């Protein structure tokens, strides 16, 4: 029995899994990523390669959002975080930014039935006050509508930047210190974690990036410290169910050590010989 299946039999809080999703998970030769984050890249490039306006790529990209969200929910993913609009994206031409905000509003309204049918709860992270009022209204309405859903959590990263998140957290901690509510000597990693935009959702197990670029682009810098990274050349408008399943299969084949050794590795090497690191070569 898989960990997810066991958790359900014990009354755990994992999202429900569809029959096809359960069969897929049971067939995996390795662990399943309960928490996934995606850098949705390549919308504009995909459109331009077809001689179309960039905004048409963003529009087609919303179809991928629906496909990936429903697939992840069917598989029993705990949380799915989508990098929808970065702080840096405000530098784009006003026309493109306006169309993106209107697409966001359209998506939030159009997909409410999909979210409810799949018991998906929506939330957002980032500097949400930067969004135009009409987009904020649609976001707040959809989050309120889905607040009691008990399935997968869908997080949209909007006007989001990893460095901005850390700076905002540090600023909040500074205020708490100034007010005497936190002792500076007590500040540690768990302190900073509490002041992130969403301190409750687990860190992603798997970060996927589409369109072939090999960088994080200021996405979840704190949370993705030990995530497995998967890059595909497929642009976001063409990233659908099968591409997500391929990414999960690749993840299942990874060996996650978190800086340590796999169980039994030290014994196979004949025991530890020194407490000092080697002087040459990378640390595995």
| pLDDT value of position 263 | 64
- For residue 222, the enclosing domain spans 23-161+204-254
Q: Give domain status of residue 166, yes or no.
A: no
Residue 157: predicted pLDDT: 98
Residue 8 is predicted with a pLDDT of 40
Place of tokens 């598989």: 75
Q: Is residue 7 part of a domain?
A: no
Does residue 224 lie within any of the structural domains?
Answer: yes
How confident is the model at residue 64, as a pLDDT?
97
Q: What whole-number distance in Å separates Cα of residue 106 and Cα of residue 44?
A: 19
For residue range 28-82, list pLDDT tens digits in order.
Answer: 999 999 999 999 999 999 999 999 999 899 999 999 999 999 999 999 999 999 9
The single residue of 41, 43, 78, 205 carrying the catalytic annotation is: 41
Residue scoring higher pLDDT (22 or 229)? 229
pLDDT computed for residue 16 by the predictor: 74
Dist. CA 223–CA 229, nearest whole Å: 13
CATH number (domain holding residue 157): 3.40.1180.10
Domain assignment present for residue 104? The answer is yes
Instruction: Please state, as a whole number, how many other Cβ atoms lie within 10 Å of the Cβ of residue 173.
Output: 18
Q: How confident is the model at residue 17 (pLDDT cuts 50, 70, 90)?
A: confident
| pLDDT of 281 strictly over 50 | no
pLDDT of 18 above 80: no
Asked if the structure places residue 173 within a domain, the reply is no
Is the torsion defined by CA of 176, 181, 184, 189 positive or negative? negative
| Residue at 100 is within a domain | yes
Domain-embedded: residue 174: no
> Both tokens of residue 46?
């995909």
Number of domains in the chain: 1
∠217-56-214 over CA atoms, to 5°?
20
The answer as to whether 167 is a domain residue is no
Q: What is the DSSP string of 80-108?
A: EEEEEEEGGGGGS-HHHHHHHHHHHHHHH
- Quote the pLDDT of residue 256: 78
- What pairing do the DSSP bridges indicate for beta strands 228-231 and 153-160? unpaired
Tell me which of 89, 198, 203, 218 is the catalytic residue. 89
Quickly state the pLDDT bin for 176 (edges 50, 70, 90).
very high
Q: What mean pLDDT do residues 115-122 have?
A: 97
Residue 231 sits at the vertex; the CA angle it makes with 227 and 232, to the nearest 5 degrees, is 150
Residue from 4, 43, 7 nearest 26 by CA: 4
The pLDDT tens digits for 125-149 are 999 999 999 999 999 999 999 999 9
pLDDT(4) > 80? no
- The answer to whether residue 41 is catalytic is yes
Per residue in 199-243, pLDDT (tens digit) is 999 999 999 999 999 999 999 999 999 999 999 999 999 999 999
Q: Which residue has the higher pLDDT, 53 or 276?
A: 53
- Percentage of the chain beyond pLDDT 90 is 81
Mean per-residue pLDDT over the chain, rounded: 89
Q: What pLDDT shows up at residue 260? A: 66
């Amino acid at each position: 029995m898989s960990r997810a299946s066991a958790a359900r039999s014990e009354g755990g809080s994992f999202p429900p899994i569809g029959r096809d999703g359960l069969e897929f998970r049971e067939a995996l030769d390795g662990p399943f990523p309960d928490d996934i984050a995606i850098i949705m890249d390549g919308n504009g490039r995909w459109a331009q390669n077809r001689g179309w306006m960039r905004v048409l790529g963003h529009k087609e990209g919303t179809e991928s959002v629906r496909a990936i969200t429903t697939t992840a929910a069917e598989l029993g993913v705990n949380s799915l975080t989508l990098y929808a609009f970065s702080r840096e994206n405000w530098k784009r031409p006003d026309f493109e930014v306006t169309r993106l905000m209107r697409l966001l509003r359209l998506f939030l309204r159009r997909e409410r039935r999909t979210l409810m049918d799949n018991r998906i709860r929506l939330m957002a992270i980032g500097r949400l006050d930067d969004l135009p009022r009409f987009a904020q209204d649609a976001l707040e309405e959809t989050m309120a509508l889905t607040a009691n859903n008990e399935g997968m959590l869908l997080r949209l990263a909007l006007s989001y930047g990893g460095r901005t998140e850390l700076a905002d957290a540090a600023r909040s901690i500074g205020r708490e210190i100034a007010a005497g509510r936190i002792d500076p000597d007590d500040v540690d990693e768990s302190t900073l974690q509490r002041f992130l935009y969403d301190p409750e959702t687990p860190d992603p197990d798997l970060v996927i990036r589409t369109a072939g670029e090999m960088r994080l682009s200021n996405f979840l810098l704190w949370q993705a410290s030990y995530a497995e990274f998967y890059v595909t050349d497929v642009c976001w408008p063409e990233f659908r169910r099968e591409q997500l399943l391929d990414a999960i299969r690749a993840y299942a084949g990874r060996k996650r050590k978190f800086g340590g050794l796999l169980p039994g590795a030290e014994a196979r090497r004949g025991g530890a010989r020194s407490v000092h690191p080697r002087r040459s070569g990378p640390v595995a």
